[in-house]
Amino acid sequence: MLEVSALAKRYPTGDEALRGVSLTVGNDEVVFVIGPSGAGKSTLIRCINRLVEPDAGSITLDGLEITTLPPADLRRARRQMGMIFQEFNLVERLTVMENVLSGRLGYVGLWQAWRRRFPPEDVAMAFATLRRVGLDGMENKRADALSGGQRQRVGIARALVQRPKILLVDEPTSSLDPKTSGAVMALITELADEERIPALINIHDVPLARRFARRIIGLSAGQVVFEGPPAALDRAALGVIYGGAGEELEGALA
């Protein structure tokens, strides 16, 4: 269970990205976060594994306080959190298998990492995960030779082989075409259910969130302004999240 409370972050530029955000993601629960660009969705996710250092507030994962961990313990905690990125963030010049195995980097020594000598059970798990995400037989292709949808599948596999306690998913479909978006989002939610991994998913696309979500959190200007099932996400609620009018509201209503 992930519990975030009163999380705040102000960037050196003065932007207040998060202003006291509190939320929980229960075990086996998939929570979607929607909100306009600049609402702080990305910062929220990045604060949870401290790719961005929060200024105040608390984050606990299964009771472990994340915000005060010293570096070595933070790395151990990060191994429990699988992250999926908007731009996939694969190491482009490495093969699919090397990218998936990078999810196990926290468990091997430096020499094994350099020589790519991962334990056989890690390799077996990577093969199985690749088959599950639909990339059977692609293990020796280089990441930069794949299509966008395939790359995101590698990104998903990389997060899964971490055997995470939670998935942090940052706008996984924003770089994909609509058809691939649906397939990738379906895959993520299916896998989260199958493997019983809770997930926190940022998403820009409200119709897509409605399709897959059971619980939605609306973020606006660094604060939680909505929380409820998709059915409760009516015109008024969207107006609150997306600020009354404008292009983004139109997009959300479409």
Contact residues for another protein, defined by CB under 8 A = 49, 51, 75-81, 83, 85, 87, 89-95, 97-98, 102-106, 110, 113-117, 120, 123-124, 126-127, 131, 136-137, 139-140, 155, 158, 162
Question: From the CB of 122, what's the least distance to another protein, in Å?
Answer: 10
Nearest to 21, CA basis, from 1, 44, 38, 2 = 44
Question: From the CB of 68, what's the least distance to another protein, in Å?
Answer: 17
Q: Which is nearer to another protein, 126 or 241 (CB)?
A: 126
- Give the number of other Cβ atoms within 10 Å of residue 200's Cβ: 24
Q: Which is nearer to another protein, 78 or 204 (CB)?
A: 78
Dump the DSSP string for 172-219.
Answer: TTTTS-HHHHHHHHHHHHHHHHHTT--EEEE-S-HHHHHHH-SEEEEE
- Residue 66 burial (CB < 10 Å; 0-12/13-18/19+)? buried
Question: From the CB of 14, what's the least distance to another protein, in Å?
Answer: 22
Spatial contact of 112 and 118, defined as CB atoms under 8 Å apart? yes
What residues pair up with 65 in beta bridges, in sequence order?
60
Question: From the CB of 83, what's the least distance to another protein, in Å?
Answer: 4
Question: From the CB of 162, what's the least distance to another protein, in Å?
Answer: 6
Q: Which is nearer to another protein, 88 or 242 (CB)?
A: 88
Q: Which residue has the tokens 């015109």?
A: 235
Q: Which residue has the tokens 């939670």?
A: 166
Give residues with Cβ within 8 angstroms of 186, minimum separation 6.
Answer: 212
Q: Which is nearer to another protein, 11 or 246 (CB)?
A: 11
- Rounded to an integer, what distance in angstroms lies between the CA atom of residue 241 and that of residue 68? 31
Q: Which is nearer to another protein, 18 or 83 (CB)?
A: 83
- Rounded to an integer, what distance in angstroms lies between the CA atom of residue 86 and that of residue 14? 24
Question: From the CB of 47, what's the least distance to another protein, in Å?
Answer: 12
Q: Which is nearer to another protein, 134 or 251 (CB)?
A: 134
